[in-house]
Structure 1
Amino acid sequence: MASIANVPHPGALVSKKKKAFIGLPAPLGYVAGAGRGATGFTTRSDIGPARDASDVPDDRHAPPKPKIVRKTGDKNGEEEEEEEDLNDSNYDEFNGYGGSLFSKDPYDKDDEEADQIYESIDKRMDEKRKEYRENKLRRELERYRQERPKIQQQFSDLKRDLNAVTEDEWRTIPEVGDARNKKMRNPRAEKFTPVPDSILAHNSAIGSGETVVSIDPRTGLKTPMTAGTSTGLLTPGGFVTPGNLDLRKIGQARNTLMDLKLNQASDSVSGQTVVDPKGYLTDLQSMIPSHGADISDIKKARLLLKSVRETNPNHSPAWIASARLEEVTGKLQTARNLVMKGCEMCPNSEDVWLEASRLIPADLAKSVIAQAVQQIPLSVRLWIKASELEQEMKAKKKIFRKALEQIPNSVRLWKEAVELEEPEDARILLSRAVECCPSSVELWLALARLETYDNAQRVLNKARENIPTDRQIWITAAKLEEAQGKTQMVQKIIDRAISSLNANAVEINREQWLKDAMETEKSGSVQTCQAIVSAVISYGIDDEDRKHTWLEDAENFANQEAFECARAIYGHAIKTFPNKKSIWLRAAYFEKNHGTRQSLKNLLQAAVQNCPQAEVLWLMGAKSEWLTGNVHSAREILSLAFKANPNSEEIWLAAVKLESENEEYSRAKKLLEKARQSAPTARVLMKSAKLEWQLKNIREAKALLAEGVKDYPNYPKLWMMSGQIAQQENNIDAARDAFNNGLKNNPTSVPLWILLARLEEKTGALIKARSVLERARLRNPKCQELWLESIRVERRAEESKETAMPIAMPMMAKALQECPQSGLLWSEAIFMENRPQRRSKSVDALKRCEHDSNVLLACSLLFWTERKLNKSREWFNRTLKLDPDFGDSWAYAYQFELLHGTKEQQEDLKKRCAAVEPRHGDNWCKVSKDVANWRLKTEDILEKAANSLPIPT
């Protein structure tokens, strides 16, 4: 049989050259892994069976090498050998064998001496800073104790208060239950087991006469129990005691016992109630302190205030603060005691007495205030407090009379006393008051109001003698004259006031006088108000700044609803600058908004006399007369305007509109014919053609338009009307030619491009419509109207399924990139999104275009679709206020009110719309510029536009 050693190793087949040691036996004493630090171990298979002493030893397990011997010196100077333990368990990676390498070697003498020197230096340095370190540690400890005091420190004041507790109070203190748990209270007590549900089942079964089988705990046998057998209770030891039981009666007895205990606790021997069995929870709730401060903070505040009182007992704020602290913490009696102690220590401080009257009960406060008045008889506040404590009017008057005997020069006391009297008695009191207080303007003016006209004049004259530097006396005198109908004296008095105050070196403050004028107007003295304005309006203003400043002041007065002051400013400005058209125009707008028709008429008549070249003023006058129904007067005004402004296009067209609105079409035609002869303009030709078109004279309209496009080819409205008339006659080729010819002469006219694109789309040529709009965008870059029309064309194509893929959304993205601030595009983009994304899109739109009426209208519609009606109405009003000329917002708001508003809200919205007469808006212009609706008024256009709009979804 071949030897195992001769069998080739598997690795030998892999290697080209056979290793020399492969297949050879291991040498004696070899331990696998010892070369790389592994510790060998032996097993029973290695040791084999027990050997005799005469057996040959196994050289593979050689004995360990002898230990290294070191020589050490003993005390006698002799050397002895000590074997060093080199076992692995005695080896440390950092310190070597047996711990430190130098632990058994003594230091040199020099090293030992150096160590002693360094140690003495360290001790000396430590002694230098020892006192500072100890003081610092003590301070930190004290601060820590102040921030976190011990429990005994927190209750130290309560412990001191125990000295004042009487014996009866000790007896009435209720017993406190043991807060420990059951094991700590009575560890050896027997355990009680609660009654299980089986006992309840047994009891119910016994009551019903059923047979119950249960286990006897003593024998462990099942025993049947009938209605006559006895059941058992679990004893504290866990056994069952037999007996007839009714658990319901046990529960009733327990409730009875609880009621008895509560009744006993509620009535003590002394008759005082210790426990309220019905309202103890309410009592506990009332015991909760009302303050939210920490107890330690209150303690510190109390200690601090106590030290302040002890340091300076005559310091009244300390007593007041202490009393208020106790009041806040709920110790009202302590607060009263402190404040009364403060009254004793600070008898001359009225603040302490007033605080005492506040804390003391009402029946005792009178006596406290009486003591205070005796102590401080010249304190006005104490006398007033005394009158407030009285309930009867007679007692109040008596107190004020005593007070005035002590302090006759107190204006406040005189005012309080006068307010309690009847007018006749008040007049007598005031006559005495002005003698005692001659420098009080209020008393003089109050007396003048109560006197007759003649006496009031004398009173005001005396007041001016005593107080020559006050303007209110002069203003009151002017009001007095105006009240008597002597309006010619009002301006004289105000002028005298200005000169008198200047003579007495009083500065004329323009702002104060204008405020006085506003207050005077509110009191009803219009003449005095206007006199004040005209007297001080020019003070402190340079000549070159007068016009701008006056107009700004008038606008501010109008915003504050001081219309008479504003009217006075406009009147003064017109007198100063009678030929300024802007001032007349601002005054006319003011009278139109805040005045009457007569005042507006008078103003415009004066305006056209001073500024006859101002066409706007003539037109405003004519329109004002026309709105009142006086057509004849309007015609006269326009005829005068023709004389003052011959060949004026605005006046000609205003006259034509006046005649056409009153159905005087022949007059209107004649006026237009004269206008074409005397003042031929593109607009006059356009209005002439439009009137013929509205009157359905298509031939005359086309002739006028043909003449117009020859003479004025750069006026796009003529080409637009030509194309629309041709489109109305279903002559698509003629309409297309008109629009194309118009674009050749007006390539930047956006409405012409849009009309041509809509014409192509209407005929079904969607591709042509797209190309038209694309050419329009190239000729008019960054035009939001063209982008919007392109997007709407694509949306209509997607809805009719004329396009295979959606194009509108990518086009909207391109449009917003080119016109990022376009509110028109953002408003369209909001409703192109799905419902969940509309809210976020509206937020982005508001960030970009916060003050754009289109975006605000879109947000209003968005709230409407979400059924947030109040918010939608609020946003509609915001839109209308931002841009009243935007007709679409009026139409949508009226549609909203028709569906969700009341009749009053609908009528109010209609009146507001008629007042502003909006003219712009895509949907609004579709109705207002339709030839069939040319006779409709603003209210009718509003209703028709609202009905034509789709309800937002």
Structure 2
Amino acid sequence: MHAPGTTMKKKLFLGSQAPLGYVAGVGRGATGFTTRSDIGPARESSDVPDDRHGQQPAKKSRKDDDDDEDLNDANFDEFNGYGGSLFSKDPYDKDDEEADAIYEAVDKRMDERRKDYREARLRVEIEKYRQERPKIQQQFSDLKRQLSDVSTDEWNAIPEVGDARNKKQRNARTEKFTPLPDSVLAGALASGQGVNAIDPATGLASPFPGVASGELDLRKIGQARNTLMDIKLTQASDSVSGQTVVDPKGYLTDLQSMIPNHGADISDVKKARLLLKSVRETNPNHAPAWIASARLEEVTGKLQNARNLIMEGAEMCPNSEDVWLEAARLQAADMAKSVIAQAVRQLPHSVRLWIRAAELETEKRLQKRVYRKALEQIPNSVRLWKNAVELEDAEDARILLSRAVECCPTSVELWLALARLETYENARKVLNKARESIPTDRQIWITAAKLEEANKNSKMVRKIIERSIKSLSDNGVEINRELWMKDAVEAEKAGSIATCQAIIESVIEIGIEDEDRKHTWLADAEQRANQGAPECARAIYGHALAVFPAKKSIWLRAAFFEKNHGTKETLEALLQKAVAYCPQAEVLWLMGAKSKWQAGDVPAARSILSLAFKANPNSEEIWLAAVKLESENDEYDSARRLLAKAQKSAPTGRVLMKAAKFEWALGSRPESKGRELQAALDILETGVEKYPNFAKLWMMYGQIWCQLKRPDKAKEVYGRGIKACPDSVPLWVLLANLEEETGMLIKARSVIEKARLRNPCNDVLWLEAIRIECRADKKDIASKMMAKAMQECPASGRLWAEAIFMEARPGRKSKSVDALKKCEHDPRVLLAVSRLFWAERKIGKAREWFNRTIKIEQDFGDAWAYFYKFETLHGTAEQREEVRKRFLSAEPRHGEEWNKVAKHIENWKKTPEEILVLCAKALQEPT
């Protein structure tokens, strides 16, 4: 105890907070009591707990939060509900993610294994569904195609569709108002009662006051109606300021206003009027402003304002002929004459005003008088002289032209016109004077040459043209070769053949280097032939052959030109000269012999070929031509002898093939006993031993065995041929077709597969493989093969043409568009598109595409056959005849369907026209 009166000092640590890490009694060895919550996860159990801050309240768990969730309306969210997100605690961990990925990969693998089966089953189900429930378009497709056959009378006989509703339904929305007759209204007014009538247009009641006399005043009713219409029109006119919604332009159009539909807004017209007024006031002597103002008023329908404006403009611009002409145009006929008379007095030297004055006269006599007055004022106007001469007869025109050339000595047209009207002697004098007056114009010289030719003085023509070249050159005129060539073409079209030939001879070598002469001349000849000037082209070829007589190419071009544009006589004369200068050119000999043969002169053809034998003793072409000549004329023994000689003197694979084909053709006749076929087999066996790489021998060998009903032998021959000629695609196709015909479909597929391995990226083999599947009714397989073929041969016209018709009818058009993008100029694709239009009965389109096809490829026989069949079914006799003539001039030799008929052994002696008819009959109309 402390003594009384003493004070104790309070300790500083009492009541204070313990320092960091302090534990009571730790200095005396005390350890205290700690728990896991005291030491935490980062402490050891022996560590001293930190008790200085006391224990923090434990955080509430998510579960406690969920239990203590605030369900107040303020805590409610439309998407998440009460509290926070429903998915804040995600139970999905990495193990689950990995497991899901594994399961997904397994499912994907199993799905791929079943994909083909599932897709096939889906296609079958869709096809079955479409067959059971076809689209409306498919149901009526056949009927739509038949609509093309419906006649006009049948169309007109179809009854109109009536109203199927009953009377109550028809009258449901129709309100009818029947006005009362005048007698009823008059009786009501007489009794002093008011009458209400219903307006049938508006449905509103209109009161009619009675009259004292008791009679109906119809005049007042009419006045009231007019007043009502005026009120409506006034309301419509107010719409310009935006007060109503009525369109004034449309309203006036509905009323068939007399204002023309110039398409301009009213405000624009006002602006234009103000602008033009400003221009006129600023510069009143500006003629275009007056013309524009008058035309604006004319367009807006104010013709009188336009006339007034243009006459005012004529006063302000009296020296403008455009204003006077516009004034004459806007005035009526009588007023226009007075306006033009005033204009001519103001501007007596205006050619256009005098011509307009003559045009306003209706009588020829008055027109002549106007032109003569005009020529008194303007004697040097060529245009006035020409117009005046056109109104006169021949004698008066000659007199006028005599005066005209004196007044206008530099006008070539007047000199030439005078020369045409004069006699031969006087025309020569006129042309001589013209040359003196105008020494630099070539037309005068050319006209002089034409004059001499017309008077049978052809010797002077060449001299005049030569002198013209020299004279023009001396006067400094450049000789333009192209212009002279055009003059030659015009001279030919005018009938002056000697003149055109003289021009060609004189200018053909001007401005051309020696090394470019041949190429340039051939191009010139072809260009003139295309321009329809065969005589000019013939003159060019003649000059080229005179300069290069030993050039085989020029003779050939000239011969083909004569074949297409000349006569048989000119062609034969040219060929005779050609073989004299180029005896080694086999083609020229053959063309001469063919020309004689087609003319029916077989002995002359034989003599030409005999001369050809002498000049070319070992020529294969000449031997075969002689054989064909004899065989076509039924001289079979002579043909055999010629073939035997040919095999000795020109032993080639082609000669052996022709010999075998000759025997084969003879053995295919009904009267044959089979010896010829055996002879053909012997020749072919010899041929394949000597020329194993000549694929056509193997093909013929196998085809003869097929004709003899020996498919085993044919297969053996084809097999040998494929080993010798593995690159021959037709051999592979023949073998595959033979296997298919004998029922060995699997083997046929195998053959085509081997062929594709040996000849990759070959569209013919792909096409044959696809057709094999189609003939076996395996359309799904064929479609897949077509897709693969398109990948290997994306630009194959054969495949695209086949793909178009493999599609269903609705998809053909889109497929044809794709085909045209890939193969725009392929004749097979164009033919397929033509057949597509034919199938859709678009006759005009089909004919257009057929013409396009044969224009691109004239040697495509299939197009000609389809075109001929098309015109046979849908064209006239003239159109069919035109196709036949064009076919004969084209002479096609290729085409899949064409070769099936043309190369059939039974048709070996048929003419091209007969083959065309047979091929057209064999084709089927597209569907």
Equivalents in 2 of 1:203, 1:353: separation in Å?
A: 64
Gaps of 5+ in 2: 1-54, 59-69, 76-173, 185-190, 199-207, 209-214, 230-250, 668-675
Equivalents in 1 of 2:499, 2:696: separation in Å?
A: 56
Match of 1:373 among 331, 344, 359: 344
Q: What code does the residue aligned with 1:659 have? A: E
Match of 1:10 in 2: none
Q: Give CA deviations for 1:917-947 in whole Å, capped at 9, x if unaligned.
A: 2221222111111111212111211121122
CA spacing shift, 1:426–1:264, aligned 2, 3 Å = farther
**In 2, are the aligned partners of 1:290 and 1:330 still within 8 Å (CA)?**
no
Q: Give CA deviations for 1:376-395 in whole Å, capped at 9, x if unaligned.
A: 11111111111111111111
Equivalents in 1 of 2:806, 2:305: separation in Å?
A: 73
**In 1, are the aligned partners of 2:259 and 2:300 still within 8 Å (CA)?**
no
Equivalents in 1 of 2:393, 2:718: separation in Å?
A: 87
**In 1, are the aligned partners of 2:290 and 2:309 still within 8 Å (CA)?**
yes
**In 2, are the aligned partners of 1:861 and 1:872 still within 8 Å (CA)?**
yes
Equivalents in 1 of 2:510, 2:528: separation in Å?
A: 17
Match of 1:617 in 2: 588
Q: CA deviation at 1:308?
A: 2.1
Equivalents in 1 of 2:460, 2:415: separation in Å?
A: 21
Match of 1:566 in 2: 537
Match of 1:748 in 2: 727
Q: What code does the residue aligned with 2:793 have? A: C
Pairs within 5 Å for 1:829-868:
829-868=803-842
Match of 2:567 among 596, 604, 608: 596
Q: CA deviation at 1:263?
A: 9.3
Q: What code does the residue aligned with 2:492 have? A: E
Q: CA deviation at 1:305?
A: 2.0
Q: CA deviation at 1:289?
A: 3.8
Calculate percent identity across the aligned residue pairs: 67
Match of 1:341 among 304, 312, 329: 312
Q: Give CA deviations for 1:768-799 in whole Å, capped at 9, x if unaligned.
A: 1111100000000011111111111111111x
- Aligned to 1:286, the other structure's residue is in SS state coil
Equivalents in 1 of 2:192, 2:180: separation in Å?
A: 10
**In 2, are the aligned partners of 1:366 and 1:386 still within 8 Å (CA)?**
yes
Equivalents in 2 of 1:584, 1:746: separation in Å?
A: 38
Match of 2:617 among 631, 634, 646: 646
Q: CA deviation at 1:807?
A: 1.1
Q: CA deviation at 1:281?
A: 8.9
Match of 1:890 among 814, 839, 864: 864
Verify: 1:733 aligned to 2:704, yes or no: no
Aligned residues: 710
CA spacing shift, 1:255–1:843, aligned 2, 3 Å = farther
Equivalents in 2 of 1:359, 1:326: separation in Å?
A: 11
Q: Give CA deviations for 1:298-331 in whole Å, capped at 9, x if unaligned.
A: 2222222222222222222222222222222222
Q: Give CA deviations for 1:517-544 in whole Å, capped at 9, x if unaligned.
A: 1111111111111111111111111111
Which TM-score applies when normalising by structure 1? 0.71
Match of 1:772 in 2: 751
Match of 2:689 in 1: 710
Equivalents in 1 of 2:400, 2:292: separation in Å?
A: 40
Q: CA deviation at 1:200?
A: 9.4
Match of 2:882 among 908, 932, 935: 908
Equivalents in 2 of 1:573, 1:890: separation in Å?
A: 36
Match of 1:454 in 2: 425
Equivalents in 1 of 2:277, 2:902: separation in Å?
A: 85
Q: Give CA deviations for 1:894-927 in whole Å, capped at 9, x if unaligned.
A: 2222222223322332332233222212221111
Match of 2:360 in 1: 389
Q: Give CA deviations for 1:257-316 in whole Å, capped at 9, x if unaligned.
A: 6556679999xxxxxxxxxxxxx9999523334322222322222222222222222222
Q: Give CA deviations for 1:594-627 in whole Å, capped at 9, x if unaligned.
A: 1111111111111111111111111111111111
Pairs within 5 Å for 1:448-597:
448-597=419-568
Pairs within 5 Å for 1:768-847:
768-798=747-777, 806-847=780-821
- Aligned to 2:761, the other structure's residue is in SS state coil
CA spacing shift, 1:812–1:310, aligned 2, 3 Å = same
Of structures 1 and 2, the larger Rg is shown by 1
Match of 1:692 in 2: 663
Pairs within 5 Å for 1:114-153:
none
Verify: 1:935 aligned to 2:914, yes or no: no
Pairs within 5 Å for 1:233-382:
258-259=221-222, 284-382=255-353
Equivalents in 2 of 1:594, 1:317: separation in Å?
A: 57
Q: CA deviation at 1:860?
A: 1.1
CA spacing shift, 1:565–1:201, aligned 2, 3 Å = closer
Match of 1:760 in 2: 739
**In 1, are the aligned partners of 2:489 and 2:533 still within 8 Å (CA)?**
yes
Q: Give CA deviations for 1:707-765 in whole Å, capped at 9, x if unaligned.
A: 11111111111111111111111122211111011111100000110111111111111
Match of 1:67 in 2: none
Q: What code does the residue aligned with 1:613 have? A: Q
Q: What code does the residue aligned with 2:580 have? A: Q
- Aligned to 2:554, the other structure's residue is in SS state helix
Which TM-score applies when normalising by structure 2? 0.73
**In 2, are the aligned partners of 1:326 and 1:334 still within 8 Å (CA)?**
yes
Q: Which has the higher contact order (CA 8 A, sep 6+)?
A: 2
Match of 2:246 in 1: none
Q: CA deviation at 1:473?
A: 0.4
Q: What code does the residue aligned with 1:780 have? A: N
Equivalents in 2 of 1:617, 1:366: separation in Å?
A: 74
Equivalents in 2 of 1:437, 1:702: separation in Å?
A: 88
Q: Give CA deviations for 1:818-840 in whole Å, capped at 9, x if unaligned.
A: 00000001111111111111111
Q: What code does the residue aligned with 1:686 have? A: M
Match of 2:640 in 1: 669
- Aligned to 2:498, the other structure's residue is in SS state helix
Q: What code does the residue aligned with 1:909 have? A: V
Equivalents in 1 of 2:615, 2:380: separation in Å?
A: 71
Q: Give CA deviations for 1:171-203 in whole Å, capped at 9, x if unaligned.
A: xxxxxxxxxxxxxxxxxxxxxxxxxx9999999
CA spacing shift, 1:719–1:425, aligned 2, 3 Å = same
Match of 1:145 in 2: none
Equivalents in 2 of 1:869, 1:201: separation in Å?
A: 56
Q: Give CA deviations for 1:372-420 in whole Å, capped at 9, x if unaligned.
A: 1111111111111111111111111111111111111111111111111
Equivalents in 2 of 1:885, 1:823: separation in Å?
A: 16
**In 1, are the aligned partners of 2:525 and 2:540 still within 8 Å (CA)?**
yes
**In 1, are the aligned partners of 2:179 and 2:197 still within 8 Å (CA)?**
no
Match of 2:844 in 1: 870
Equivalents in 2 of 1:256, 1:939: separation in Å?
A: 87
Equivalents in 2 of 1:897, 1:383: separation in Å?
A: 58
